[in-house]
Structure 1
């Protein structure tokens, strides 16, 4: 959703050239109607939209959908607006002016987070990403919170590889500028507490990060 037609056209060309299907809205009301009709996987949202502003659009989107990726792209680069946007549920915040390569890279990172397969398997362990349920070979299950599920997802798709705290912070929390790296350790502990009856599945590699073994 972008009211500057030149920027909107530039973004359309950029993302269409990289395989995305792009719809453009120039007002908040139009963007909300378009979102409600087409149910996109990812939204790039300008805060300074005429009529309904971007903050209101973001609130409406998050009131009905917690999974869709939302990247805020705006000239409002002040820290307070960045924090406000993130608190309202944006996955990333990119101030104007921006570099196209950086924008594409960060949008693709959000897109990877929202394009999750329904089931992941390692050995006889099955993780249902949508229901956030992990099923073990003996039939027992563990239900995870939204954040625990996202954290386990990234460990799952990197099974056997050590994933750094910085990478997990970026992939799960989206913006490391306002969040302490310690939050990763906190949620790893939450995961381990829930999985402790099934062995040490998530292991620490001191000074680097974490690795998942089935």
Structure 2
């Protein structure tokens, strides 16, 4: 399984990377939040371990960016602060677990293994509708043939698949995926990308849209 470790304390980072690698995990390391976010955009991970206090982008901001993409990868937050308020902030931002420093490596491993089991046993690496399959772990869309998706295309496709045939308002998509965007033009752009890709793989579903005074909504329907 592949892990992302974001920790700016280099000695601690090396120690954690060593124990995780020795246990059998493949580990990518980042020393600040911006580097971690760049790796997240490039690759798919099974579990993310992130310190809260990091330069450039802190762990909460990193977590918020990850969740904003519609990504549900389990995140374990590390912090030197043990106050309840810090734990609440992390959990409210979407963290799956919380481990205050200093910690025993044995406890860190136990937490990571628990999150990894959750990924294997309870996550939905594949979502289906009609003849279309979305493989979130590989960011791949498959029907009669397949195509690679960007992370944001996959996040949007995931929202559409999870809602089945229930329409999703454009502004709701903005809130879930691009909370820093004020316009819905980006939704229209990515809907167009996905329509092209569904057509290219021979999908038997299409993205329909419904317009009213409250704006535009989108849903997946069987192609006529």
Instruction: Give TM class, smaller chain.
Output: 0.5 to 0.7
2:169 corresponds in structure 1 to: none
RMSD after superposition = 2.4
State the shift of 1:69 in Å.
1.1
Tell me which of 110, 116, 122 is aligned to 1:111. 116
> What is the SS of the residue equivalent to 1:31?
helix
SS at match of 1:67: coil
**Is the counterpart of residue 7 in structure 1 residue 24 in structure 2?**
no
Query: Which SS does the other structure have where 2:23 is aligned?
Result: coil
For residues 2 and 10 of structure 1, the distance between their equivalents in structure 2, rounded to whole angstroms, comes to 11
Check 1:96–1:62 CA distance in 2 against 1; reply closer, same or farther (3 A cut): same
Q: 1:64 to 1:6 in 2, by over 3 A?
A: same
Instruction: Report if aligned partners of 1:47, 1:76 keep a CA contact under 8 Å in 2.
Output: no
User: Are 1:57 and 2:59 an aligned pair?
Assistant: no
SS in 2 for 1:9: helix
Task: Report the Cα distance in structure 1 between the residues aligned to 2:128 and 2:113, rounded to whole angstroms.
Answer: 23
The Cα of 1:130 is off from its aligned counterpart by: 4.7
Alignment CA distance shift 1:132-1:81 (3 Å): farther
- What do residues 4-58 of structure 1 show as CA deviations (whole Å, max 9, x unaligned)? 0000000101100111000110011000001111121110000100011111000
Q: What residue ranges of structure 1 are gaps of 5+ in the alignment?
A: 119-127, 134-144, 146-214
- TM-score, with structure 1 as normaliser: 0.54
Paired residue secondary structure (1:24):
strand
**Structure number having the greater strand percentage:** 2
1:80 equivalenced with 2:85 (yes/no):
yes
- The unaligned stretches of length 5 or more in structure 2 are 1-5, 130-161, 163-224
Distance in 2, Cα, partners of 1:28 & 1:129: 26
Contact 1:116–1:129 (CA under 8 A) maintained in structure 2: no
Once the 2 structures are TM-superposed, how far is the Cα of residue 117 of structure 1 from its aligned partner? 7.3
Secondary structure of the 1:23 match is: strand
CA contact (8 A) 1:67 1:114 kept: no
1:70 and 1:90 in contact (8 A); partners too: yes
Distance 1:84 1:23 in 2: 26
Q: 2:32 aligns with which of 16, 21, 27?
A: 27
Q: Distance in 2 between matches of 1:26 and 1:129?
A: 28
Q: Distance in 1 between matches of 2:36 and 2:125?
A: 28
